Chain A
Amino acid sequence: MINIPGVISQEKGLKSELLLVKGLTVDFETFDKKIEVLKDVSLKIERGEVVTIVGESGSGKSTLAQAIIGVLDTPPAFVKRGEIYFDGVRIFPTDGKRVKFRGTGINMVFQEPLVSLNPVYTIRKQLLEAAEIGGIPEKGGEREKVIKNTLTELMIRDVERVLNSYPHQLSGGMRQRAAIAMAVIQRPKLVILDEPTTGLDLIVQRKIMGLLLNLRREINTSLLIITHDLAVAANMADRIYVMYAGRIVESGTRGDIIKDPLHPYSLMLRDSVPTGYKESGPLKVTEGAPPDMSALPPGCPFHPRCPNVMDICRKNIPPLKNIGDVREVACWLYEK
């Protein structure tokens, strides 16, 4: 089932991948039902690579991120299968050992910034702590300088007020920026961002993305960006994974997915973004909504909305197949 070229199975076999997820399957179990939220998800991130996961709500993209950093709520979530390697070390399953990877290893910015921020400390205290973890020397007010610069970079106009505030005193956009600053200051090897730009202004979005790309330039940080906004993916990513109903349905380079999507769902996502003027005619999108995960249709989960549906799609789930070097697609159309 797991089909990644060059995968290493021993615990310390070093390859260039920074993060490697193999066959991750996560179930949500409640009293009366069991829902497969992630099904055999495999992905890898190279050092210094920007990877985005695009998908709609309920596609499992946030669950995937939470599973990677090991903060899934159990119950209801149970990881059924799968392995995760980070920087050559297996971080899941750990067989009871403690493996430290959060902080300067993997750092996550959650969609809801209040999750990342401690409600009883001021932003200053929290950012100073991040600077300490990031290895910035204390003498000469160096840490204070770094946190102020970072906040200014993120277009926060009254840095002093923000630093002296508690998280609840700030607006959503400010909190989001404080959380991103906290991640950036720690200078991690991988930053996972869950919908980092939702609700932020265009110019602020660009500032945030610029800051993250700077970090990559300076210390070769990798980024995993989870978004529903294909335009963000098109402008940030080296590689894109498209998720639907808990599965990866297509992956490839930015050019592959944006210019020449193979899976009908990727195509629909791309065509959903308006690119022209009024005269350009209606958007090519089929009716229907993402499926209810507790009652997935048999066969390919996308078949009820798919314009190219065939008989086989209603019966069998298409496997994710390698086509080309870095390209995978799960669709019966390409099964030859």
Chain B
Amino acid sequence: MKNEEILRVEKLKVQFLNREKLKFSARKTGRWKIVLDEISFSIIEGETFGIVGETGSGKSTLARTLVGIYKPKSGRITLMGREINFKKREDLLYLRKNVGIVFQDPVGSLNPRLKIREIIREGLAIEEKLSRIDQDKKIDEISDLVGLADSKLDSYPNEISGGEKQRVSLARALVNNKRILILDEPTSSLDVSIQAQILNLLRKLKDELSITYIFITHDFNVIRYMCDRIGVLYYGQILEISSVHDIYENPLHPYSSDLMNANITLETENKFDSQYEIGEPSRSGCIYLNSCMKKFEKCNISPPEFNVNGRLVKCWLYESGKL
């Protein structure tokens, strides 16, 4: 693994027009609902970076912004040393050429009227100079790699199973040698044994294609198994970034530790009997103020990110930079 930064996100802010006055929206500021609130992180080439968060935390918005589907309000995204200007066509093409995405819903992301081969070919549309024969060659190679039988290439999406659909999505995303692949809940609509097959496949693909993954999920068992580092997202803010071992064995931010405590695995027993409470995000001060068990006076001011032994934590408890 090279220790080179491949993607850097600085103070990324994404906001949506607040059409309804939803009472539970995160940090309302008039007409705009801020979905991602100045988040920063960087990703090292070859790693798997996990983003975990609950419903409404902005995970999928982040994924979509990183491939240029949503435009950020402010902030910078730097991909392999080149800053992306979301208003310039060539920058967006550069982004899409290098960053692929697999969506959660395999049914909704495959065109029902195209054959599988043509769906995968869509991934090559960005490579203008490729002849059709070369395209077919690439399609055959990639479908071999993702374990898609040749006979399926001439089927339509409704004729194949959920696991196969997710393989098609993978093939489409990877057919033109992407550097980064964003996986937005790639297995949560699949059966457990199929999920295990896809997870094994993802790990194999990563070894063979030396690609960088951004893995978004709410499943803590999956994220532990897949990732090197994790960012914990809560209502548009990243509260902690740590290595996966650190965060599972010694979570620093109170929210991370509440999440880890709530996680159930095959080894835990009767965990449902204990009580947990996570309230509404706070509108002023630290965003986790309302639910935090360890709050003190200082928490009325929003904390900056503190660096604790290389881990980033957004909590006043770690102001000294020590554990």
> Which B residues are CB-close (under 8 A) to A158?
23-24
Interface residues on B, range: 35 or more
Residue contact B266 to A203, C-beta cutoff 8 Å: no
**Distance between B43 CB and nearest chain A CB, rounded to angstroms:** 16
Known: A56-B191, A271-B196, A276-B225. A201 touches B267 (CB 8 A): no
Q: How far is the CA of A276 from the CA of B226 in the complex (A)?
A: 9
Chain B proximity mask over A260-274: 1 for CB below 8 Å, otherwise 0: 000000001111111
> Which A residues are CB-close (under 8 A) to B108?
none
> Which A residues are CB-close (under 8 A) to B48?
278
Chain A proximity mask over B246-268: 1 for CB below 8 Å, otherwise 0: 00100000000011001111111
> Which A residues are CB-close (under 8 A) to B55?
173, 201
**Distance between B263 CB and nearest chain A CB, rounded to angstroms:** 7
> Which B residues are CB-close (under 8 A) to A202?
54, 218, 220, 259, 262-264
**Distance between A46 CB and nearest chain B CB, rounded to angstroms:** 18
Question: Which residues of A, 228-252, contact B by the 8 Å Cβ criterion?
Answer: 228-232, 234-236
**Distance between A65 CB and nearest chain B CB, rounded to angstroms:** 18
Residue contact A285 to B218, C-beta cutoff 8 Å: no
Residue contact A273 to B264, C-beta cutoff 8 Å: no
> Which B residues are CB-close (under 8 A) to A290?
191, 193
Known: A157-B280, A235-B272, A287-B147. A275 touches B266 (CB 8 A): yes
**Distance between B31 CB and nearest chain A CB, rounded to angstroms:** 20
Say which one of B85-93, B131-139, B197-205, B297-305 lies at the interface with A. Answer: B197-205
Residue contact B161 to A272, C-beta cutoff 8 Å: no
Known: A235-B271, A272-B195. A282 touches B203 (CB 8 A): yes
Residue contact B193 to A210, C-beta cutoff 8 Å: no
Q: How far is the CA of A157 from the CA of B55 in the complex (A)?
A: 14
Residue contact A231 to B147, C-beta cutoff 8 Å: no
Residue B323, interface by CB 8 Å: no
> Is chain A's binding surface mostly helix, strand, loop or mixed?
helix
> Which B residues are CB-close (under 8 A) to A31?
none
| Chain B residue at minimum C-beta to C-beta distance from A232 | B264
**Distance between A327 CB and nearest chain B CB, rounded to angstroms:** 19
**Distance between B153 CB and nearest chain A CB, rounded to angstroms:** 18
Residue B224, interface by CB 8 Å: yes
| Chain B residue at minimum C-beta to C-beta distance from A236 | B272
Residue contact B192 to A56, C-beta cutoff 8 Å: yes
Residue contact B269 to A277, C-beta cutoff 8 Å: no
Question: Which residues of B, 216-263, contact A by the 8 Å Cβ criterion?
Answer: 218, 220-222, 224-228, 244-245, 248, 258-259, 262-263
Residue A206, interface by CB 8 Å: yes
Residue contact B271 to A283, C-beta cutoff 8 Å: no
Question: Which residues of B, 10-52, contact A by the 8 Å Cβ criterion?
Answer: 23-24, 48
17 example contacts (A-B, Cβ-Cβ < 8 A) are as follows: A56-B191, A201-B218, A202-B259, A203-B262, A206-B274, A206-B276, A229-B192, A231-B264, A235-B264, A272-B193, A273-B265, A277-B225, A278-B226, A278-B227, A283-B225, A287-B197, A290-B193
A-B residue pairs, 7 tightest by C-beta: A274-B225, A209-B272, A272-B196, A56-B191, A285-B196, A201-B54, A283-B196
Residue positions of A touching B, CB distance < 8 A: 56-57, 155, 157-158, 161, 173, 201-203, 206-207, 209-210, 213, 228-232, 234-236, 254, 258, 268-278, 280, 282-283, 285, 287, 289-290
12 new A-B contacts, CB < 8 A, other than A56-B192, A254-B269, are A203-B54, A203-B262, A203-B276, A206-B271, A235-B268, A272-B192, A274-B222, A280-B225, A282-B200, A283-B200, A285-B196, A285-B200
